[in-house]
Chains A and B, each alone.
Chain A
């Protein structure tokens, strides 16, 4: 089962820090497992919790929200709100029955190429081990 399970991961990156970090990881030729898609927003605080719920509904196995380190947000306090939202969202997802590891919050600065790479690869490995999201399994079963 593990061989054929290809996780679907969505990564929200903020424009100023984590997206730049992702870019740098690419330029620096870090090897990244291919099972993720990046969506860029101006700030991690722009990431609406509803989008994350929608991602899971549409069959995502995991979601990463990446922003600037606390204190470094381009908009001063955006990421403070982000981490409050993510903490509450994680409790909610747990109540929905999802393994709480499926949502990760990462602080990645513009120069942290290696951190971006390891965050992505570690996350994909963990998700591969946990298996597909039950919402994804349900959706695929319904579409058959």
Chain B
């Protein structure tokens, strides 16, 4: 092993938490830099797009792409890096499932445009100026901006993806594991995992959660985190606090649980479900307490009970909306 491999860290519609996650390898980075050169990685290096365009296909061994696909630039970079890379990894929940940027699929482009450039409290825009994909200034200067898409997509909607590393962001432990896989591969010690592998557990978070769980979890009453004292020992669901552990993949070391807050599903679903939100919906509804006089409870009361689960769309699909079955919100001709 004489020559270093090239690694790229490309960005879609990201918050850059995944870039920082890699930086969190701290001293392990030195091991990485012994075998790899960091090439295109806008947070950290000065490699420009034209440099990537000049590379040969497959010159980059591994590309970690984080962020969702929100506009034409995100897609262009995904396709460019796919061409130049041997291995493409959907890194972080946004690239894999859409993440928080995917929540934009709850609304429409027009509404967003109007809100941001007209309605927010500090915006002063009497001339109704809007950013444009092509703009020519009065002096004749031509400027372009990427086109924004109608809906947020995931990385595998636009390119072929080899592996997925989930969470928001991937933990240091996941990165250390990824690093050891890379080092073993570069040093000829081991082959690569099968294509499509997700670097996480196949079980749900409940397996990993350190809290004491009763034989059967039953929600007596649905409670809100803002008004409830949170018991640090008991299962959240048992306390009536919504926790998405049962529907969420394990592998994140239950960090949120350890600081006494319930899971919100950033590891995405396990492989055996079609739809993250749908599976959590079912789990939640199933463990609600059934009274002994249930057959006498009218339908309206059941509806009121289920309304206590606030904002199903934004909560059940917090991180996975673009990868859900329905993917985005629609508009009906008639709403009644």
Contact = CB atoms under 8 A, between A and B. Distances in A.
The answer to whether A and B touch directly, with their CB atoms under 8 angstroms apart, is: yes
Interface of A: 48-50, 53-54, 56-57, 69-71, 77, 80-81, 83-85, 87-92, 95-99, 129-131, 134-135, 138
Contacts of B330: 96-98, 134-135, 138
Interface of B: 106, 273-275, 277-279, 281-282, 284-286, 288, 290, 294-295, 297, 299, 302-303, 305-307, 309, 311-314, 316, 324-326, 329-336
A134 B284 CA distance: 28
A137 B143 CA distance: 37
A134 B332 contact: yes
Given A57-B326, A97-B330, A77 B290 contact: yes
B18 to A, nearest CB: 29
20 contacts: A48-B279, A49-B278, A50-B279, A53-B274, A69-B295, A77-B290, A85-B285, A88-B284, A88-B285, A88-B309, A91-B307, A92-B277, A92-B281, A95-B313, A95-B329, A96-B329, A98-B330, A134-B330, A135-B326, A138-B330
A99 B332 CA distance: 7
Contact of B273 (A50, A56, A88, A92): A50
A104 to B, nearest CB: 12
Nearest to B328: A96
B331 A134 contact: yes
Contact of B312 (A71, A77, A91, A131): A91
Contacts of A70: 294-295, 297
Greatest chain A CB density within 10 A among B297, B303, B316 is at B303
B302 A50 contact: no
Question: Chain A: interface secondary structure?
Answer: helix
A135 B330 CA distance: 7
B329 A97 contact: yes
Nearest to B108: A97
Given A95-B313, A96-B313, A84 B306 contact: yes
A85 B282 contact: yes
A127 B305 CA distance: 27
A34 to B, nearest CB: 24
Contacts of B305: 84, 87
A134 B327 CA distance: 13
Nearest to B274: A50
A133 to B, nearest CB: 8
A56 B326 CA distance: 8
A131 B278 contact: no
Across the A-B interface, the 3 shortest Cβ-Cβ residue pairs = A71-B295, A134-B330, A95-B313
B281 A89 contact: yes
Contacts of A88: 281, 284-285, 306, 309, 312
B295 A87 contact: no
Contacts of A77: 290, 294
Contacts of B325: 50, 53-54, 56-57
Contact of B282 (A49, A87, A96, A98): A49
Contacts of A49: 278-279, 281-282
A48 B306 CA distance: 17
Nearest to B299: A83
Nearest to B287: A81
Contacts of B106: 95
A105 B40 CA distance: 54
Contacts of B285: 81, 84-85, 87-88
A95 B106 CA distance: 8
Contacts of B295: 69-71
Given A71-B294, A87-B306, 18 more contacts: A50-B282, A53-B275, A53-B278, A53-B324, A53-B325, A54-B325, A56-B325, A56-B326, A69-B295, A70-B297, A80-B290, A81-B290, A90-B303, A92-B316, A95-B106, A95-B311, A99-B332, A131-B334
A129 B297 CA distance: 32
A51 B306 CA distance: 20
A90 B106 CA distance: 16
Contacts of A85: 281-282, 285-286
B55 to A, nearest CB: 34
Contact of B302 (A87, A98, A138): A87
